[in-house]
Amino acid sequence: MIAPPNQSDIDFPEDELVMKEVDKPTNPDQLWKNLTNALFGGTVLILILVFWIYLNPQAPINPYPPVVIPPTIVLPTSTITPTITETQLPTKTPLPSVTPLPSETPQPTVTPFSLDTLSPAALKTEQAMITPSATNGPMGPYSYIVQPGNPVAISSSIMRPESDCKWMGVAGQVIDLDDAPVLGLRVQLYGSLHGDVKAITSLSGTVNRYGPAGYEITINDFPTDSYHTLWLQLYTQAGGAISEKVYLDTSASCDKNLIIVNFKQAK
């Protein structure tokens, strides 16, 4: 009778030993420890990135960098202002027409008629008629005027180099008594250009390249000459005019294809 083999004499294959070692269950505590370390490391990394973006908002890792508002336009060369003021002098010529109004001529017509008691009343009414025009001044009943030195024509390459010389327009901004931006006012272009009727609207505060309350209106696809056939006027959202008409002269020169007109509150 053959004796059964001793278990110590039995050789197990090496592959089965390796499989037994691999099949050993991993330690669950070690797995949670690894996940905790990974979560902690990710949190620290996110805090570092947030702190970096807070210190440097223009960092390349910031997906929403703040918009840089361009500064207020400072028009070059003060030599332009003498020519502008000379052109604006004709607008002040109505002042002599106000000076003849001193109603000294009606006084002789009033006094001969009758009682002396009527002459003071007549004088008061005449003074009341003169005072509003004096308080309104040259700007009349409007609350916004064109800034001194405007309109002025410059090259569009200064503010919009992408347009080259294939564009012509008018632009600027609107500010209040304290030089703060005024947003949401209608800037309206009317008139005609070589028979083409123009009625184009822009809103202050929509084109920041000219300032926080900037606007821009495209007049034509290329620069061309015109004289007082186009005008610009400022309106409220309700449609009431709050500035006088500003007549524009356009040029066929690429150095004068952008007309700057800035409006400022006067009262």
Range of the domain at 240: 144-265
Task: Work out the average pLDDT over 95-117.
Answer: 42
Compute the mean pLDDT over every residue in the chain, rounded to the nearest whole number: 76
- On whether residue 184 sits in a domain, the answer given is yes
User: Which tens digits make up the pLDDT trace of 137-159?
Assistant: 444 689 999 999 999 999 999 99
- On whether residue 240 sits in a domain, the answer given is yes
Task: Work out the average pLDDT over 189-213.
Answer: 95
Task: Work out the average pLDDT over 204-222.
Answer: 96
pLDDT class of 26 with cuts at 50, 70, 90: low
- On whether residue 43 sits in a domain, the answer given is no
Q: Number of structural domains, the chain?
A: 1
- On whether residue 23 sits in a domain, the answer given is no
- On whether residue 261 sits in a domain, the answer given is yes
- On whether residue 108 sits in a domain, the answer given is no
Domain with residue 188: its CATH number is 2.60.40.10
- On whether residue 19 sits in a domain, the answer given is no
Task: Work out the average pLDDT over 50-67.
Answer: 78
- On whether residue 134 sits in a domain, the answer given is no
Task: Work out the average pLDDT over 206-229.
Answer: 96
Task: Give which of 225, 223, 233, 173 is closest to 199, Cα–Cα.
Answer: 233
